[in-house]
Amino acid sequence: MGVVAIDPRDKTPIYAQLERGLRAGIATGRLRPGDQLPTVRQMAVDLRVNANTVARVYAELERAGVIETRRGVGSFIHTTPERARPPREHDRRLRAFVTRVLADAGAAGFTIDDVVAALTTQQQGGS
């Protein structure tokens, strides 16, 4: 398999699949800072997609600071796994975490106020 895979049966647009795949590769450590990406043309050939689609994703990732393109040399991973996730992904994961915590707290008989007070005490080093 190449750097990233595209599923033609997936209803997600190809550019979104490509961006998500590259970000996931970085987030999982499969792609590391300094790794060189295939050229736009090579990635397009490998994935059997339009080169403009790949160029669009590379440009977006460069604007976001995820990759760095050096003219005449190529495109390279420029960010850490933690920073590779899309900003909305952080918010989505946090909301899901909070939902699980509140569900567990409710099942254990704790109120939101109980949880917030316990978190505050814990953060302040109390017991």
Q: Are residues 25 and 69 part of one domain? A: yes
In this predicted model, what pLDDT tens digit does every residue of 109-118 receive, in sequence order? 999 999 999 9
Question: What contacts 33, CB < 8 A, 6 or more positions away?
Answer: 76, 77, 78, 79, 80
Say if residue 31 is in the same domain as residue 61: yes
* Whether residue 70 sits in one domain with residue 50: yes
Residue 96: what pLDDT? 86
Cα 59 from chain centroid (whole Å) = 16
Q: Please state which of the ranges 41-50, 84-93, 99-108 shows the lowest mean pLDDT.
A: 84-93
Domain span holding position 32: 14-84
How many independent structural domains does the chain possess? 2
Confidence band, pLDDT 50/70/90 cuts, at residue 53: very high
CA–CA gap between residue 41 and residue 88 (Å, rounded): 29
| 58 in a structural domain | yes
Beta-carbon-side half-sphere exposure of residue 62 (alpha carbons within 13 Å):
14
Structure tokens at 63: 């604007």
> How open is the CA angle 26-29-35, to the nearest 5 degrees?
65
CATH number for the domain spanning 51: value is 1.10.10.10
